[in-house]
Amino acid sequence: MKLILRSSFTVLIALGTLCAQWAQAASPSPDQLQQVVDAAYARFKDVTDGKNADYIPILATVPSDMFGVVIATKDGKIYSAGELDYVFSIQSVSKPFTASLIMHEQGAKTLREKIGVEPTGLPFNSKLALELYPERSVNPLVNAGAIAAVSLVEASSEEERWRKVLGNISDYAGRPLNVLEEVYNSEYESAWSNRGIANLLYNYGRLYSDPEEALRVYTKQCSIGINTVDLAMMGATLANSGVNPKTGKRLLDAEDVPELLAIMATAGFYDESGEWMYSAGLPAKTGVGGGIVAVVPGKFAIATFSPPLNEAGNSVRGMKAIRYIAGELGVGLYGPNHEE
């Protein structure tokens, strides 16, 4: 009898400890959030691995030592360290947000049917993926799918298409954003690979506007200037079920948020998406400008800015900082991830 009582007691204590750990993971306190942001910044600020993107010539000139880390919660509170004001080009971090615009205006089904949701396991600008997959555009987070996504935005002119894309990304950030003209010119002048992708998609009937128009709007979208706080607020909108915490504006139906996060989880890091989910366990999106945003659904977003990239085109310090924060707070979707 005594033995039974003692083992029940042990089980209760173990359950209590687990619940306490879960509650802590579920709702880190403001102090914990600021501490973990400060710790991530201090831990990785001196890392110099990686190299700025240079296939878009102007990106090679962005100071490589800049490093910012921000958490924005679903109620709009900001916890930050490092570089917060520098305005960098959003690049591919824009892609899930234009996918969201398609879902919001035309339904999740349209995105799935007209673009696709398969991860490619191939680099972001792969032409091979376009030939291999019957959907051609494959998913909205690789270049092919993202160029197809801007072409799918309902618009009667290029100007209207662009205004809708810019307006939506500004709404996600919670303030009006603009194009960095120098980045746009540099990228459009060297956009031969993306031009090839747009033309191939058109050839296969998987582009829904004139190819050069889609290329211009896509390139402008990638050249939108943001800072690390904007990026965190964009992610916090997804953490807040599609409503911007700052403005209260709904940008995506709550029921479509899980599908968008699922695409980010499977394709947000291109051919490194498996590695990323294995080690961080969070849906996220990277850009060759050095930004990353990761979403802890229903809670908060973590954004980082650091220009040097690894071979797959993902920010080295940003990945380390987000993995560290996710690990310290135990917020990985499948439970705490232990391997870096």
Residue ranges that bind ligand GLU, judged by CB under 6 A: 91-92, 124-125, 143, 187, 194, 222, 287-288, 313
C-alpha 225/C-alpha 227 separation (Å) is: 7
CB of 55 to ligand GLU, least distance (A): 7
Q: Which is nearer to ligand GLU, 213 or 256 (CB)?
A: 213
CB of 299 to ligand GLU, least distance (A): 26
Chain position carrying tokens 């599609």: 242
Q: What is the dihedral of CA 38, 41, 43, 49, to 10 degrees?
A: 170
Q: Which is nearer to ligand GLU, 124 or 202 (CB)?
A: 124
Q: What are phi and psi of 286, to 5 degrees?
A: -115, 165
CB of 140 to ligand GLU, least distance (A): 13
Q: Where are the alpha helices (DSSP H) in the chain?
A: 2-26, 30-44, 95-106, 108-114, 128-132, 143-152, 158-173, 181-189, 192-203, 211-222, 228-239, 257-267, 273-279, 316-329
CB of 262 to ligand GLU, least distance (A): 19
DSSP state of 157: S
Question: How many CB atoms are closer than 10 A to CB 109?
Answer: 10
CB of 315 to ligand GLU, least distance (A): 10
Q: Which is nearer to ligand GLU, 100 or 240 (CB)?
A: 100
**Contact by Cβ (8 Å): 262, 244:** no
Q: Which is nearer to ligand GLU, 201 or 243 (CB)?
A: 201
CB of 162 to ligand GLU, least distance (A): 15
Q: Which is nearer to ligand GLU, 143 or 337 (CB)?
A: 143
CB of 298 to ligand GLU, least distance (A): 27
CA atoms in the 13 A half-sphere facing the CB of 191: 27
Q: Which is nearer to ligand GLU, 37 or 232 (CB)?
A: 232
Q: Which is nearer to ligand GLU, 214 or 288 (CB)?
A: 288
**Contact by Cβ (8 Å): 106, 113:** no
- State whether residue 290 is helix, strand or coil: coil
Closest residue to ligand GLU using C-beta atoms: 92
